[in-house]
Chain A
Amino acid sequence: MADEKKLAAYICKGCGLGDRLDTPQLMTIAEREGKCQVVKEHDFLCSAEGVAMIRADIESDGVTHVAICACSRRAKVEAFNFNNVAVSRGNLREGVIWSQPDTEERREVTQEMADDYVRMACAEIKAMRVPEPNPNHGSNKRILIVGGGISGMTAALESAKAGYEVLLVEKTGVLGGWAAKLYKRVPDVEPFDGPVDTGIDALIDVVNGNSKISVHLNSTLSRTSGAPGQFSVDISQESGATITENIGAIIQASGSEVFDATKLDNLGYGKSPDVIDQVQLEELAKAANGGAIKRPSDGKEVTSVAFVQCAGQRNPFDDNMLDYCSGHCCNTAMKQAMYFKDANPEVDTNILYHDLRTPGNGEDFYRSAQQKGVTFTKGFVKDVVVNGSLNVNFKDAILDEVTSMEADLVVLATGQVPNSGVDIEAAAAPVEDEKGDEQTVAAKEEGVSVLNLTYRQGKDLPHLSHGFADSHFICFPYESRRTGIYPCGPVRRPMDISQAIEDATGAALKAIQAVENAELGRAAHPRSGDLSFPSFRKEGCTQCKRCTVECPFGAIDEDEERYPQFNEGRCRRCGTCMGACPVRVISFDNYSVETVGSQLKAVDVPDEFEEKPRVLVLACENDAYPALDMAGMNRREYSAFVRVIPVRCLGSVNTIWVSDAMNSGYDAVLLMGCKRGDEYQCHFVKGSEIAHTRMSKIGDTLEQLNLEAERVQTFEIAITDVDRVPQLIDEAVKMVDEIGMSPFKF
């Protein structure tokens, strides 16, 4: 069916389009220039009748490609939602009549804008194919969980409860992780009056007893390859045996380690057995089992205990310490103080803190601790002196004095360090030498990998701040940069048990979603449901590897012949590979070098004597394009000399579009993408960053054409830049006015 194209264009006359524009002229353009076999206009295209008219043409007249020349692609989406046809939207409303004043002198240029948007919409569909699902999809729906702590077990159980088979791999000989080492846990439901049972033994029993869950203890992943719906993993067992399993999606619940307290010798750790961390206190509490807790050095019952919060944490000044707060330690210290108080209210328990961080119902627990007589002192501990006794020296922040406290036992609240495997970006970063980069990468990798991915970009999930395998998204906490692999629990960010349980349950949903979408051969977030996927013409490929390096999601490997190997199931459809390809062999059915290139070439560029410059804007569809829409909605006016083409991501912008535009006589090209850098707001993570880098090198091309560098500009645009985007457009037109029209107008 892909070859049997029938193009149709529909021109809407509603919302004032019919009053402001010469729609018969638009129809003529669609027919003659756009080569549409069916061209119709309608007074109210998004109405039930209008949509029915289009639907009838699709169903009875064999229309396969539909150009809707009406409002923005963001408006009336539900009305113009046709299955199995290619659709483009000519934005005549927000993009033309709403952004242009209704005046006599602007009538002509407004009409020219509309004419061009119709040409562009027709050119776009002409170059599009109707996307069909990825044929190389997998349909394995089994979920692999790495890690048998509370996060991993929760994810396993919740997946199983939804009807999915689970394989759980745990590197130690037992399930339970850190939670199993606790005497009791902090409560997460009312009443918040004291430590509660961890429930971990019961959870282990349920996991072991669930017929959908198979548990591999003493096992690690020695190889992970494939894509959602078709992962293949090697599970290496302690015995030396390796088994290979097929998997649909992966949840990485590899947890955290405790910060190495031996770095805290100023706090007495290692100098006295009575200076311990919070984990060791749990061991003592377990041994006491509700009775008096005894100190390690001589078994004496503890009569006074000092809890030193933020030990080795919240310290950005020392590379050996943690910058961040581990979140759980304030509640944990209160719980541990209660171990003492509940056994013997006479025990002196002091919590020395900077900020007491017990958000939510932690506040109720805090109140309970106060009622039990736990003492809280806002102070900054300087050191712990071990000299027969233990003396904690600190600055009391309330009394504003340096003072000291003696204790039988000192408990250091050290933090969580993520067990997130190899830092692949640090390993890959300084390579940049000409020969054999793979070897250099391999040599530089440090640490033990958790996943041992065979991906070209490295063995583990990319890390973000402080080594956590996080997504760094606020709105989308699970979106890692490896499709079908979802981190959860403290490997993702510091967290306590109740948050880890929520997190693991959510991750289970994402894993299930990944396998369900993989089976249908369609994309995961953020282009959920998109059927298009990248394909490439092997004959033209020069094996330059840019696509494999630049893919923000590590979706592209290399085959034995060193050609790129697209793992479509791992692809998020941003098009960064397409933007990267110097020989332009990568394309999507409905988004390609051709679909955009033919649009920009379809624009009628007036000759230089008409004094009508043309400025091309390539706008990120998620931020810059909506900002332009909202500018239109609020009737912010901007130059009629601009032509806007939405792109999936600025990363998908191929420099050929820029040189084509220049060769076609455009006077300027503006690229509008999202904020880049560490605090990026690009929904494809790196696309905007990459585009900026690419465009910084476009100067040579412009020089060859003998054109001024300022004719091509790249901007970081936020969706809220409703006033700024029109300004930038007007400034570009002004700039053209100053430096003169392009000499490339024919």
Chain B
Amino acid sequence: MTDVVATNETILVVGGGISGMTAAIEAAECGKNIILLEKSPALGGRVSQLYKYFPKLCFPTCGLEINQRRMKANQRITVLTMAQVEKIEGETGNYNATVKIASRYVNENCTACGACSETVEAEIDNPFNYNMNKIKAAYLPHNMAHPQRYVIDPSIIGTADADKAKEACNYGAIDLDMQEETLNLNVGAIIWATGWKPYDAAKIQPYGYDRYDNVITSVEFERMMDKFGPTGGKLLRPSDGKEAKNIAFIQCAGSRDRNHLTHCSRICCMASLKQATYISEQYGEDAEDAKATIYYIDIRAIDRFEDFFKMVRDKKTVEFVKSKVANIVENQENGNPILHGVNTEGYHRYANEHDLVVLAIGMEPNANIGEVTSGVSTDASGFIQVHEDNGGIFGAGCASNALDVNRAVQNSTASALRAIQVVNKVSGAEA
């Protein structure tokens, strides 16, 4: 049984991405006790799946390392992975959260030696790479996985593979009879940091994400740059595995659109500018045949991101077309997507052929808090709004709006304080 101590001076943080980790660590370093829940087997969330951050083009795992070290050293934080909130009842300063913990089939004895993975034969889609490749059914989610503990996929439970895994483990870490658990946690305040998910690209019919192999999303493109990703760090297009050199980026894919998400997802302009730099990183600044073409409505590189926009704009390998792309058709001969539309600067029609199309996909909230509790105010897109009626439940990061990492961290830090205010009131410390 998972043994967790929680009181109404404890803060429950739901979601272990950059926002949830930040909220948990910042509050814990103020001396508060935290329970951090993560639905997947490891912390890190979507930032751990990014190759680089804008605007510094640095690696997200660097900040993740710092955060993980802070977390490992802090005895006030209890991390529960594979955990999901089923129900929240109660009121400010006194909530009861029902939490379901799925079976990992691997206990804390795991040393991450990898013996189980070596022996298991079955493979599953790799969620870390947006299912673009396979991983053994006994796996460590990724290089930076915290906790550093393997997972046995439920699909092999009851098979000979699972028995082999158990046999291979010298440490009694594999427990094939592990059962799902339900915990009831009494906490004072709750930070809801369940993050975002990419808008379902298949719904944008004219772009043919579901029909054309060489139309992919920005999150998938990001994984291609990772040496440990599905393409070993090369920009290989899905249809034929050839290097993609002439790449189109379509902005506002699903965002700023009455038929899809009405809001602007904020990050996509900067994400595409960043991804345009990947092309010169792969093929060189002077590559004749490598080119990024960004089809945009407005380039929203606000505040000092303007510097980054300028840097990318000055690259020979990057071109901008002010246009909402009307539709995409596929060149049957070579699998190239052909983009149709009108360049509104001067009003020129175009039919441009590219090797690969990357949809700068919009951002929507990952989890609906309305499913576990009532009374929390959300906006039309499902983001949690700041509202007095929310009591001691606070949105953080992309659960509260479409935010970039810096703003998500800022917002999570603010939410951590709001939660501290609640538990300080419970303890009488604020008096």
Residue positions of A touching B, CB distance < 8 A: 14-16, 44, 46-47, 71, 74-78, 81, 158, 161-163, 188-190, 314, 316, 323-327, 355-364, 367, 378, 397-400, 465-466, 468, 472-478, 493-495, 499, 502-503, 505-506, 508-510, 512-513, 516-517, 524-526, 528-529, 622-623, 626, 630, 633-634, 674-675, 679, 681, 683, 718-720, 722-723
Contacts and interface: CB of A to CB of B under 8 A. Distances in A.
A448 to B, nearest CB: 23
Contact of A161 (B58, B73, B421): B421
Contacts of B70: 525-526, 528-529
Interface of B: 18, 25-27, 29-31, 53, 56-63, 65-67, 69-70, 72-75, 109, 111-113, 143-144, 148, 170-171, 226-228, 255-256, 262-264, 266, 298-307, 310, 322, 344-347, 379-380, 385-387, 401-403, 405-407, 409-414, 416-418, 420-421, 424, 429-431
A357 B310 contact: no
A89 B75 CA distance: 20
A509 B416 contact: yes
Given A163-B430, A718-B59, A78 B401 contact: no
Contact of B30 (A378, A478, A512): A512
Contact of B303 (A163, A325, A524): A325
6 contacts: A47-B109, A158-B417, A355-B301, A364-B262, A506-B410, A718-B62
A398 B345 contact: yes
Given A367-B262, A623-B65, A683-B66, A513 B26 contact: yes
Nearest to A162: B421
A478 B25 CA distance: 14
B332 to A, nearest CB: 34
Majority secondary structure of chain B interface residues (helix, strand, loop or mixed): loop
Contacts of A16: 113
B5 to A, nearest CB: 16
Counting chain A CB atoms within 10 Å of each CB, which of B63, B303, B305 scores highest? B303
B49 to A, nearest CB: 13
A503 B26 CA distance: 14
A506 B59 contact: no
Contacts of B266: 359-360
B418 A505 contact: yes
Contacts of A361: 263, 379, 401
Given A76-B111, A398-B347, A722-B143, A526 B66 contact: yes
A505 B417 contact: yes
Given A468-B304, A477-B406, A509 B414 contact: yes
B341 to A, nearest CB: 14
A189 B401 CA distance: 11
B29 A681 contact: no
Contacts of B56: 472, 474, 679, 681
B262 A363 contact: yes
A509 B413 contact: yes
Contacts of A14: 111, 113, 170-171
Given A14-B171, A363-B256, A720-B227, A494 B304 contact: yes
Contacts of A74: 69
A325 B61 contact: no
Contacts of B262: 363-364, 367
A529 B73 contact: yes
A503 B410 contact: yes
Contacts of B109: 44, 47
A474 B264 contact: no
A190 B380 contact: yes
Contact of A356 (B18, B29, B298, B345): B298
Contact of A508 (B227, B406, B417): B417
B303 A529 contact: no
A162 B420 contact: yes
A360 B53 CA distance: 19
Contacts of A720: 59, 61, 226-227
A633 B387 CA distance: 46
A737 to B, nearest CB: 28
A193 to B, nearest CB: 12
Contacts, number: 249
A397 B345 contact: yes
Contact of B409 (A316, A475, A528, A723): A475
Contacts of B59: 681, 718-720
B30 A163 contact: no
Contacts of B403: 360
B397 to A, nearest CB: 11
Given A163-B424, A357-B298, A475 B66 contact: yes
B310 A316 contact: yes
B398 to A, nearest CB: 11
Nearest to A472: B56
Contact of B307 (A323, A326, A634): A323
B111 A46 contact: yes
Nearest to A488: B410
Most B CB within 10 A of own CB, among A316, A360, A503, A626: A360
Contacts of B18: 475
A248 to B, nearest CB: 13
Given A324-B304, A398-B345, A681-B56, A516 B171 contact: no
CB-CB nearest 10 A-B residue pairs: A475-B63, A163-B430, A506-B413, A505-B414, A509-B417, A77-B72, A359-B266, A355-B298, A363-B264, A400-B346
> Which of A14, A359, A399, A505: most chain B Cβ within 10 A?
A359
A506 B430 contact: no
Given A44-B111, A325-B303, 14 more contacts: A78-B72, A162-B420, A360-B403, A363-B255, A466-B304, A474-B58, A474-B406, A494-B302, A502-B410, A502-B411, A508-B417, A528-B29, A622-B69, A720-B227
Given A363-B263, A525-B70, A355 B63 contact: no
Nearest to A154: B414
Most buried by A among B306, B402, B411, B424: B306
B298 to A, nearest CB: 4
A362 B379 CA distance: 13
Nearest to B31: A516
Given A158-B421, A475-B67, A508-B417, A189 B111 contact: no
A163 B306 CA distance: 39
A499 B148 contact: no
A296 to B, nearest CB: 30
Contacts of A324: 303-304, 306-307
A718 B417 CA distance: 33
B402 A360 contact: yes
A367 to B, nearest CB: 7
B223 to A, nearest CB: 13
A675 B401 contact: no
B381 to A, nearest CB: 8
Contact of A506 (B25, B53, B111, B417): B417
Given A324-B306, A626-B65, A360 B413 contact: no
A526 B305 CA distance: 25
A502 B402 CA distance: 14
Contacts of A323: 306-307, 310
B139 to A, nearest CB: 13
Contacts of B303: 324-327, 493-495
A631 to B, nearest CB: 10
B410 A44 contact: no
Nearest to A490: B303
Nearest to A355: B298
A71 B111 contact: yes
Contact of A162 (B62, B171, B227, B417): B417
Contact of A359 (B74, B302, B304): B302
Contacts of A512: 30, 417, 420
Contacts of A364: 262-263
B306 to A, nearest CB: 5
A81 B379 contact: no
A630 to B, nearest CB: 5
A234 B62 CA distance: 40
Contacts of A510: 26, 413
